Amino acid sequence: MCTYRALVGLALAVFVAAATAADIGQIKTSKGGVTIERGGASLPGTVGARLQVGDAVKTAADGSVGITMIDNSRLSAGPNSVLALDRYAFDGTTHEGQMDASLRRGTLSVVSGKIAKQNPAAMTVRTPNTILGVRGTEFVVKVED
More confident residue, 20 or 116: 116
- Contact (CB, 8 A) for 52 and 70: no
Domain limits, the chain: 25-143
Residue 26 CA to residue 143 CA, distance in Å, equals 23
- φ and ψ of 123, to 5 deg: -125, 120
- Across 98-102, 105-109, 127-131, least confident range: 127-131
pTM for the predicted model, two decimal places: 0.82
Q: What pLDDT is recorded for position 138?
A: 76
